[in-house]
Amino acid sequence: MSSMGMRGSARGTVDASLHVPVRAAWRGVAGVLVVLVCLLVPFCALSNTMPVARPDSVVVARPHGLRAQMPAVTFVHSRHGHMRCGLCHHTMESLGAAERCSSAGCHDMVAPHCPREKASGRYFKNAFHDSPASCRGCHAERSAEGHNAGPVACKGCHR
């Protein structure tokens, strides 16, 4: 009984002397773990959503009912390699997938009937030519600024 008490108190003394540094050390380790987790969680979240299989060359789909005036356009992803997917696939972050430009409710209007419809973003043709994030719009802006760019002339894309 008394020897147990002795041992107990001896251990108590050792523990007491180690108490603070051991705790501090663990707090340090915990801190490092928290930092690692904070760094890794967004990384894992990204790596889950990033690798969407992507065809290199894709014929841009045309909406149902289009009476085309121009030859169809083939888009090549690898020639646009460093761009953020969401620049073109601007619904990708909310949907987690690349949609067709001409999906229902998107740029699916084939024949505008009035000036308002003709100016609408839903008019299929409008999605590809004028805005800075569109095909021709980006090429035109970049070449005006003296950067490398894709074609601006109709036949460069419609061939």
Provide, rounded to whole angstroms, the least separation between the CB of residue 113 and ligand HEC.
16
Tokens of 3: 């020897």
> What contacts 136, CB < 8 A, 6 or more positions away?
128, 129, 130, 152, 157
Annotated binding site: 77, 80, 85, 88-90, 101, 106-107, 135, 138-139, 154, 157-158
Residue with tokens 């289009």: 66
Residue number closest to ligand HEC, CB atom: 150
Least distance (Å) between residue 51 CB and ligand HEC: 8
| Half-sphere exposure for 104 (CA within 13 Å, toward CB) | 0
Closest by alpha carbon to 128, among 101, 149, 109, 147? Answer: 101
Of 116 and 155, nearer to ligand HEC (C-beta) is 155
Say whether 96 sits in a helix, a strand or coil. coil
Binding-site positions for heme c read 77, 80, 85, 88-90, 101, 106-107, 135, 138-139, 154, 157-158
Binding interface with ligand HEC (CB under 6 A): 52, 54-55, 58, 60-62, 68-70, 72-73, 75-77, 79-80, 83, 85, 87-89, 98, 100-102, 124-125, 128-129, 133, 135-136, 138-139, 142, 148-152, 154, 156-158
Pairing of the two strands 57-59 and 74-76: antiparallel
Of 2 and 69, the one with the shorter C-beta distance to ligand HEC is 69
In the complex with ligand HEC, the residue whose CB is nearer, 5 or 146, is 146
Q: How far is the CB of 37 from ligand HEC (least distance, A)?
A: 27
Q: Could you tell me which of 111, 112, 98, 95 has the C-alpha nearest to residue 60? A: 98
